[in-house]
Amino acid sequence: MPGHPLLRLLRLARPLRAQLLISVLAGAAATGCGVALLAVSGFLLARASLQPPIVAISVAVVAVRGLSVGRGVFRYAERLSSHDAAFRVLADIRVAIYRRLERLAPAGLADFRSGDLLARLFIRGVGPLATAALVGGGVVAACLLILAPAAAVLAAGLLVAGAAVPALAVALSRREARFTAAARGELSTALTDLLSGAADLQAFGAQDGALRAVAAADDRLTALARRSAAAASAGSGLMTAVSGLTVWGVLILGVAAVSAGTLTRVPLAVLALTALAAFEAVTTLPSAALALAGVRASASRISAVLDAPDPVAEPALPRPVPAGPVTVRLRGVQVRYQPDGPLALDGLDLDLSPGRRVGLLGPSGAGKSTVAAVLLRFRDPCGGSVTLGDAPLASYDSDQVRTVIGGCLSDPHIFDATIGENLRLARPEATDEELAGAAGRARLLPWIQSLPQGWDTRVGPGGAAMSGGERQRLALARALLAAPAVVILDEPTAHLDPVARAALTADLLRVTQGQATLLITHDLAGLEQLDEIIVLDQGQVVQRGTHHQLMRTEGRYRQLHAPGS
């Protein structure tokens, strides 16, 4: 859905257009009440000074009361509906962005701040513009009825204040608007890096440099904010000057008309006060224009995320995923991470049928995790075929695929929550017994039971309060709890000591018995229990067969087992 980033944001708000229209009308009514209040008050004061009978001004007295109450009520309605609509759209955009990020970087996180953005677009950008147009037009029309030349001066003044001054403010801060969103992103990236990498920075004595980088990013943002504040204040100063000059113009024309006898004194008071009040409708326009300019830059960033090419194509009509045991078949699968990049995987054949366990070996960068990414539908192959059951893997919804094909990725993420919550992520409805069962099979239960707070122990950001091996076992328990039909375990024994490795590998081979399993590993113990071993190198299969077959042939696998290798 390409197009101008701002129009695109507005398109996202289309389902709420009725509500946004209500908020614009209520805003215009509130400002209109304010202008009318001053006009009627002017009439009331001028008329009352002539000491008429009370009946002559009673309508105006009631109108003053009505308008002052109406102004509050309309303003409340406007705020309520515009904020409500903005936050609803915000929620939709957040979900859309999150879905995109999830697809683009399944294991990655991105900082994304759009709350401010949406509030600025709807509440401080579009609303004031519409209000100014409606109220300004109405006021000029009303003044035309009193004195046409004065109405013309007022129209000119409002146009200058509502169009020229905001345009000038935007021109003055064009550079700032363009760079502020990026500078804010830079600062938060630098800060996140500083905080999450604090231990490493300190270990290498690099904390001063990192602090300086944050301070520099902060300075850049502050300088930009200062310059755009200067532009905004120049705008509001000019606004005051224009409104003063316009009221003077209206007064001069009005007084001349009174002297010429074409206008009486009471309408003159109404005219002057109306002109003064009319500027209430345009005073927020310079900051609205600046807000829109800022939103435009942020909207472009959102569009960049939403328009990024999809690493996996979702089917228009996804078929239901098969229940129960199922076979996954890869034939001649090729994967490229960049359109013109090298093949990370080149012609892989693989069968994962119920009960069959396959080991995937190979040096770092061989393409092992890439196989996992294809199976989990984080990435579509550029060649070959992948089928789940009888149908192409691409004909299923990728989220649904991951309920059938699951497991534990290399570098699993542990959330800053309790152990129990981290486990339940895999199956929120799991019973305590199921939780304990999965933790037991991953040999994590004794450790959990030894903790004073047991399942309720918080593990800190990224599982900081756990050892590498405990994190690995927690991730494994999570994979076991989800109980997918096809299990993928990407280096489940990384970070463990040799004894724990051997123990966990033995456990793994025990718990995956009878289950379709892909075991990606650098470990050689227990491989004889697998039905097939595939050795990858630079994306290509260099050897495949059972442990015994491979040990009988000269090749990479036997070299791996050679003493001292």
Q: What contacts 504, CB < 8 A, 6 or more positions away?
A: 442, 443, 472, 473, 476, 492, 493, 496
404 in contact with ligand ATP (CB under 6 A): no
Nearest distance, CB of residue 369 and Mg ion, angstroms: 3
Distances (CA, A) of 128 to 32, 266, 287: 12, 31, 10
Beta strands 405-408 and 486-490, pairing class: parallel
Residue 447 interacts with ligand ATP (CB under 6 A): yes or no: no
Contact between 20 and ligand ATP by CB under 6 A: the answer reads: no
**Residue from 120, 184, 301, 368 binding ligand ATP (CB under 6 A):** 368
Q: Is 110 in the site for ligand ATP (CB under 6 A)?
A: no
User: Does residue 364 touch ligand ATP according to CB under 6 A?
Assistant: yes
Query: Distance (Å, rounded) from C-alpha 524 to C-alpha 560?
Result: 8
Furthest C-alpha separation in the chain: 118
Sequence letter at residue 115: G
β-pairing, 383-388 vs 486-490, is unpaired
Of the pair 259, 364, the CB lying nearest ligand ATP is at: 364
Q: Name the residues that contact Mg ion, by CB under 5 A.
A: 369, 410
- Among residues 87, 248, 337, 447, which is the contact residue for ligand ATP, using CB under 6 A? 337
Q: Which residue is nearest to Mg ion (CB)?
A: 369
With beta carbons less than 8 A apart as the criterion, state whether 184 and 167 touch.
Answer: no
Contact 263, 147 (CB under 8 A): yes
**Which part of the chain contacts ligand ATP (CB under 6 A), choosing from 119-127, 213-221, 228-236, 362-370?**
362-370
C-beta of residue 377 within 8 angstroms of C-beta of residue 102: no
- The nearest distance, CB 367 to Mg ion, in angstroms, is 9
**Single-letter amino acid code for the residue at 328:** V
- The CB-of-344 to ligand ATP minimum distance in angstroms stands at 4
Element spanning 335, H or E: strand 328-336
Residue count of the chain: 565
Contact 463, 474 (CB under 8 A): yes
Nearer to Mg ion, 64 or 374 (CB): 374
**Which residue from 236, 410, 457, 546 is in contact with ligand ATP, where contact means CB under 6 A?**
410
Q: Give Cβ neighbours of residue 564 (< 8 Å, ≥ 6 apart).
A: none
Q: Which window, 165-173, 234-242, 360-368, 433-441, contacts ligand ATP (CB under 6 A)?
A: 360-368
Residue 366 lies near ligand ATP (rule: CB under 6 A): yes
Number of residues interacting with ligand ATP: please give it, by CB under 6 A: 11
Q: Is residue 367 near ligand ATP by the rule CB under 6 A? A: yes
Residue type, 96: A
332 binds, among Mg ion, ligand ATP, none (CB under 5 to 8 A by kind): none
Structure-token pair, residue 24: 């614009």
Residue 482, amino acid: A
Report the number of secondary-structure helices (H) and strands (E) in the chain.
21, 10
274 binds, among ligand ATP, Mg ion, none (CB under 5 to 8 A by kind): none
- What is the SS3 string spanning 416-445? CCEHHHHHHCCCCCCCHHHHHHHHHHCCCH
Minimum CB–partner distance for residue 524 and ligand ATP (Å): 14
Interacting stretch for ligand ATP, rule CB under 6 A, among 4-12, 128-136, 359-367, 422-430? 359-367
* Residue 248 binds to ligand ATP (criterion: CB under 6 A): no
Nearer to ligand ATP, 236 or 410 (CB): 410
Binds 498: which of ligand ATP, Mg ion, none (CB < 5-8 Å by kind) = none
Give the residue with the Cβ less far from ligand ATP, 247 or 366: 366
Nearest Cα to 5, choosing from 426, 401, 305, 221? 305
CA distance 434 to 49: 86
Q: Name the binder of 546 from Mg ion, ligand ATP, none, CB < 5-8 A by kind.
A: none
Q: Which is nearer to ligand ATP, 357 or 368 (CB)?
A: 368
Binding segment (CB under 6 A) for ligand ATP, from list 65-73, 188-196, 363-371, 434-442: 363-371
Token pair listed for 29: 């009514």
Q: Which amino acid is at 437?
A: G
Q: In the bound complex, what is the minimum distance in angstroms from residue 484's beta carbon to ligand ATP?
A: 20
Residue 365 lies near ligand ATP (rule: CB under 6 A) = yes
Spatial CB neighbours of 471, under 8 Å, sequence gap ≥ 6: 412, 414, 463, 495
Residues 311-330 as x/- pattern, contact with ligand ATP by CB under 6 A: --------------------
Is 376 an interacting residue with respect to ligand ATP (CB under 6 A)?
no
User: Least Å distance between CB 158 and ligand ATP?
Assistant: 55
CA dist 143 and 145 (Å) reads: 5
Question: Rule CB under 6 A: is residue 299 a binding residue for ligand ATP?
Answer: no
344 binds ligand ATP (CB under 6 A): yes
- Cβ atoms of 348 and 330 within 8 Å: the answer is yes
Using DSSP, state whether 343 is helix, strand or coil.
strand
What, of Mg ion, ligand ATP, none, does residue 370 touch, CB below 5 to 8 Å by kind?
ligand ATP
301 Ramachandran zone, left/alpha/beta (phi>0; psi -120 to 50): alpha
Nearest distance from residue 490's CB to ligand ATP, in Å? Answer: 7
369 is an interface residue for ligand ATP by CB under 6 A = yes
Task: Give the burial class of 397: count Cβ atoms within 10 A of its Cβ; 0-12 exposed, 13-18 middle, 19 or more buried.
Answer: middle
Please say which residue, 302 or 361, places its beta carbon nearer to Mg ion.
361
Q: Is 235 in the site for ligand ATP (CB under 6 A)?
A: no
Should residue 184 be labelled a site residue for ligand ATP when binding is judged by CB under 6 A? no
Look at residue 34 and give the partner it binds from Mg ion, ligand ATP, none, a contact being a CB closer than 5 to 8 Å depending on partner kind.
none
Nearest distance, CB of residue 359 and ligand ATP, angstroms: 13
Binding site for ligand ATP (CB under 6 A): 337, 344, 362, 364-370, 410
